Amino acid sequence: MPSGAERARLVREMFDRIAGRYELLNTVMTAGLHRLWNRKVVRATGLRPGDRALDLACGTGSLTRDLAKAVGPGGRVLGIDFSREMLRAAEARPLPNVEYRLGDATDLTGVPSDAFDAATIAYGARNIPDLDALFSEMARCVRPGGTVVCLEIATPTNRVAAAFYGLWFDRIVPRVGAWISGDARAYAYLPESVKEFVPPGELAEIMVRNGLQNVAWHRLAGGIITLHRGTGRSGGP
């Protein structure tokens, strides 16, 4: 996979192509567990009714809708993604307290600073080459003490989970993905992108050096998922 702007273009085009089948494939590939992991993200944000949330790389809005439930009718959620087709699928299921916007998670020009009680990104960071830009934007947009949560697929360290993961992710996912989406390249990219992604400890360091505090992370589902959480800086720079 190329790097920089060329990689971003390929990723955007890939999500444009698979948008129509994305949610079905997610359900098949995680055996429905992504719903449970979404709930863990929502819990980690600490969002309450009336709060404001920012969901980056929101895709078809799977997590965005769960955030919207947490903040209730008095709250607001802004979902941002750079794939027009993923957003089109999200907008097909509108909610009164959700706004979707086309944009790049690494350059949130027009999104105000300190404006959100929480910012999230689920399965998006792995696709983003410039993680410093991503987390500095997330840190900028949350209010002091607000939360930043990043959910990602990871390579498990546990031997049993690693064996299962090797079979599932390297062999079954690319085949089933290609079959259902009709896009073999997209579902070959998925396991590749997980292998190329920074280890969880390094991701935590990136969050810290971009202004987040109290950064902690833990593994879910035998280590195939990681959840990182940090808080916006309280006090001055």
Ligand X SMILES: C[S@@+](CC[C@H](N)C(=O)[O-])C[C@H]1O[C@@H](n2cnc3c(N)ncnc32)[C@H](O)[C@@H]1O
191 touching ligand X, by CB under 6 A: no
Measured from the Cβ of residue 177, the count of other Cβ atoms closer than 10 Å reads 24
Site track for ligand X across 82-111, x = CB under 6 A = xx--x-----------------xxx-----
Contact 200, 154 (CB under 8 A): yes
Measured from the Cβ of residue 202, the count of other Cβ atoms closer than 10 Å reads 11
Nearest approach, Cβ of residue 34 and ligand X (Å):
7
136 touching ligand X, by CB under 6 A: no
Give the integer Cα–Cα distance in Å for 9 and 83: 10
> Could you tell me how many residues of this chain bind ligand X (CB under 6 A)?
21
Amino acid identity, position 141: C
CB closer to ligand X, 121 vs 212: 121
128 touching ligand X, by CB under 6 A: yes
- Helix orientation angle between 22-30 and 84-91, rounded to the nearest 10 degrees: 80
CB closer to ligand X, 48 vs 84: 84
CB closer to ligand X, 67 vs 142: 67
Contact 134, 128 (CB under 8 A): yes
CB closer to ligand X, 130 vs 170: 130
Give the integer Cα–Cα distance in Å for 112 and 94: 23
57 touching ligand X, by CB under 6 A: yes
Stretch that binds ligand X, among 70-78, 79-87, 170-178, 207-215 (CB under 6 A): 79-87
Give the integer Cα–Cα distance in Å for 175 and 165: 14
Q: Return the residue matching tokens 């992108």.
A: 193
Among the listed residues 51, 66, 81, 152, the single contact to ligand X using CB under 6 A: 81
Which residue's CB atom is positioned nearest to ligand X? 59
